[in-house]
Amino acid sequence: MPNHIFKESYPGSRVDHVGTYSRMLPVSLERMFENALDWEHLPWLHRSSFTAISCEDAGPWGWRASVVNARGQTSLLELRLDTRQRRWVTRTLDGQGVGAEIWTYVIERGPLEIEVVIDFFVPGVSEADLAKVGAAYARVYQTLYDEDVSMMQGRHRLLKQRVLPLKADSPAECLGIRADLSFPLETSFAGRPVIVWAVDGTFHVTAARCPHYGADLVRGTREGLTVTCPWHGYRFNLLSGACSGLTSLLIATRFYAWEEAGKLWIGWAGAEK
Ligand code: FES
Ligand SMILES: [Fe+2]
């Protein structure tokens, strides 16, 4: 059962209208607007569609950025958000696809249920090709929204979570037989999700969620002591927790893991080792 509807352009529409894509999304309006303004995630979360982005300007109004698509073609995109009208318009101002406009309308159907309706306008398409071009846009948007839903839901879960401070005397916990475990290991300590990383024979433990929007860092990429977040590409040091881009962001690293008698243990600062 498809989770979206694609309608070809209708007679009497604008001459450059190539089709309309719509689908329900299990997210809030707030998360959807946040996602629209979030230009940084394009080459990370949507890496199959974009490979790079360079932002010229951004604010509550929207953003304007030069993006490179998966075929290496560059476009200058501008997204303008109108929260009162519950819509945003993305225009290609220059480069590949110049003149294209994508109008996205959002209808709230419930607290965690919205409908997006997206009209694609592409200049210079012959009448015979309208449906084909529209369907191609719909396929791209299907992928983009599948990827966006996972991020918006993850962020929603994180914002709802209440994380209690760890007690200094939280006892060490055994994670099992070391030889049976593979790394990076997603686990928990004192009820909070953590990751045990094995780097050159040494264990490092960090919080499992990225402090930016809450991505699972285990799905990021690690090189040496640096892990790169899969959603926006921020890089964190596994020892200090520091972020190389935004100095105010830190991942919690005050955990320890060690092997004893063939078993792997985890503890927190102050816990007995
Ligand atoms: S969630 Fe944005 S960089 Fe990790
Ligand atoms: Fe997105």
Compute the chain's Rg from CA coordinates.
23
Residues 8-34 have pLDDT tens digits of 777 777 778 999 999 999 999 999 999
- pLDDT tens per residue, range 157-174: 888 877 777 777 788 999
Q: Is the peptide bond before 184 cis (omega within 30 degrees of 0)?
A: yes
> Quick check: CB of 209 below 6 Å from ligand 1?
no
Q: Is the pLDDT of residue 3 over 90?
A: no
| CA 14 – CA 167 distance, rounded (Å) | 63
Alpha helices (runs of H) in 11-170, residue ranges in sequence order:
29-37, 42-45, 130-160
Q: For ligand 1, is residue 120 a contact (CB within 6 Å)?
A: no
Q: Give the model's pLDDT for residue 162.
A: 75
- Distance, CA 93 to ligand 2 centroid (Å)? 19
Helix (H, G, I), strand (E, B) or coil at 239: coil
Compute the distance from residue 191 Cα to the ligand 2 centre, in Å.
Answer: 31
CA of 176 to the centre of ligand 1 (A): 30
> Model confidence at 270, in pLDDT bands (50, 70, 90)?
low
* Contact present, 27 and 79 (Cβ < 8 Å): no
Tokens coding 269: 């600062």
Q: Is 215 in the pocket of ligand 1 (CB under 6 A)?
A: yes
Q: How confident is the model at residue 55 (pLDDT cuts 50, 70, 90)?
A: very high
Ligand 1 in reach of 210 Cβ (< 6 A): yes
Give the closest ligand to the alpha carbon of residue 45.
Answer: 2
Non-local (6+) Cβ contacts of 92 within 8 A are 75, 76, 77, 98, 99, 100, 101
pLDDT per residue as tens digits for the range 182-215: 999 999 998 889 999 999 999 999 999 998 999 9
> d(Cα 218, Cα 227) in Å, to the nearest integer?
9
Which pTM does this prediction carry? 0.89
Give pLDDT, residue 246. Answer: 65
Atom of ligand 1 nearest to the CA of 215: 1
Q: Which ligand is nearest to the CA of 148?
A: 2
DSSP 8-state symbol, 41: G
φ/ψ bin of 241: left (φ > 0), alpha (ψ from -120 to 50), beta (otherwise): left
> Is the CB of 229 inside a 6 Å radius of any atom of ligand 1?
yes
Q: What structural domains does the chain harbor?
A: 4-160 (3.30.530.20), 173-268 (2.102.10.10)
Is the shortest distance between the CB of 21 and ligand 1 below 6 Å?
Answer: no
CA of 139 to the centre of ligand 2 (A): 14
Where do we find the tokens 């709802």? 160
Task: Give the model confidence (pLDDT) of 114-131 as tens digits.
Answer: 999 999 999 999 989 999
CB 258: neighbour CB atoms within 10 A?
Answer: 14
Tell me if 212 CB under 6 Å of ligand 1: yes
What is the per-residue pLDDT across 77-107, written as a single tens digit (0 to 9) for each?
A: 999 999 999 999 999 999 999 999 999 999 9
CA dihedral over 198, 222, 206, 242, signed as positive or negative: positive
